[in-house]
Amino acid sequence: MAKDTIIREDYVEKLMRYKDQTDLVKVITGMRRSGKSTLLQQFMDRLIENGVKEERITYLNFDSKKNKHLLGEDLLYDHLISKVSEKGSYIFLDEIQNVPGWERVIDSLMIDTDADIYVTGSNAYMLSTDLSTYLTGRSIPIHVLPLSFKEFKELNSLEDNEKAFGDYISTGSMPKLRADMSKDDAFEIVNAIRLDIMFKDIAYRKKLTDVRTLERVIDYLFSEMGNPISGSSVSRELKIDDKTAESYLQTICESLMFYQAKRFDLKGKTVLTTPSIYYCTDLGMRNAAIGEYSRDIGRSIENVVYLELLRRGYSVHTGKIGNREIDFVAAKSGKKEYYQVSMTILDENTREREIRPFRELNSPGKRTILTMDRLGLGSEDNVDIINVIDWLVGTA
């Protein structure tokens, strides 16, 4: 039987590490409905379990109409000041971008109180730019993605890894979904989330009137997932001008519906600005928008790997080495790892094609091929060949 929710332990533990660092605002970003509010509640529960009195905790969700009277910087500041305790206070402000002047409220609270402050938002641009203006060096980003495969399995009490993975890449990773839902019901939910993002996080914020063109660009990104894309290619395909195409690509990524993986030239050691590959935050949303995934399951697996590397704290680019490609260059703590993703490498020509770019690498770093294969795993030419499901659940 599926559970109502699961503790997102990695995120809760990260928040615990920053607990009581009142000189830092904890900025939690993520696509709408990816679980930010639930995470805050889980963290508040953990605080209470650790002895923090409930009266020292203030939580406000600015998507809720009951907080409409606080949608002004002076009103919000006065309200929060009245909640601050001399014994130490914890302030949680959910979907803070809905409050005009919110950044000045946070700045003033940091000056006037010793409260421990946490904010969430569904728009990367608004939080990053406004915070950079008012809170340079005084904020820490914590990025929340929808459920990992391990979390999806736990939430739905699934034992069969292979079947669970098929469900995961079909209906997607949004926390509201359950594996026992019909596909129609699941797709109805993710379609509603997609429309919410389009209208609330993109069209309304950017004052866009041509929502149909916005939807066409989004569907184009869904359909071309895994392929190099530039503003000019979007412009040519959809017959819109280059400036509009570039603006829409940027805004869609700011809504966190997609991530831009820029190309890294492994010989020139430089990041190439265009073209890039755009990966979607939720595969269920993609499948609901453009049709079933089975025609290009390899791209879906690649998308899952990209998001999992982000979850594990890597900065991720796609790799270019001469005329060859390496799917992912993942960097963390000054070290790089290299990944190829392939549905199968049982065919000798495919196996050689996937391994060959690694031979041309002169840089140190772990080399890995992730595949759905169960045969032919192990190591070859200092390349680890691993089943992707085992890698996702941590058994490889």
Categorize the per-residue pLDDT at 355 as very low, low, confident or very high, splitting at 50, 70 and 90: very high
Question: In 312-371, which ranges are continuous DSSP H helix?
Answer: 348-359
Q: What is the pLDDT of residue 123?
A: 80
Q: Are 270 and 203 in contact (CB under 8 A)?
A: no
Give residue for tokens 């000798």.
Answer: 348
Mean pLDDT of the chain: 93
Per-residue pLDDT at 190? 96
368 vs 177, residue with greater confidence:
368
Q: How far apart are CA 171 and CA 256, in angstroms?
A: 19
Can you read off the two tokens belonging to residue 264? Answer: 């890294």
pLDDT 10s digits, 61-82: 999 999 999 999 999 999 999 9
Predicted local confidence at residue 295, as pLDDT: 61
What would the two tokens of residue 315 be? 């900065």
What confidence tier does 317 reach under pLDDT thresholds 50, 70, 90? very high
| % of the chain with per-residue pLDDT over 70 | 96
Over range 131-138, report the average pLDDT: 73
Report residue 294's pLDDT band, with 50, 70 and 90 as the boundaries. low
Range list of β-strands (E), the chain: 25-29, 57-61, 90-94, 116-121, 139-143, 228-229, 258-265, 270-280, 315-321, 324-332, 335-342, 367-371, 378-380, 383-387
Task: Indicate the Cα dihedral angle 209, 172, 152, 276, nearest 10°.
Answer: -70
The pLDDT > 90 percentage for the chain reads 82
Alpha-carbon span 336 to 48, nearest angstrom: 39
User: Tens digits of per-residue pLDDT, 94-127?
Assistant: 999 889 989 899 999 999 999 999 999 888 766 6
Record the tokens describing residue 169, joined without a space: 């890449």
Give the tokens for residue 62. 């600015």
What is the rounded average pLDDT of the residues 282-293?
88
- Structure tokens, 316: 């991720």
Quote the pLDDT of residue 2.
63
Give the whole-angstrom CA distance, residue 171 versus residue 119: 29
Distance between CA atoms of residues 71 and 65, nearest Å: 10
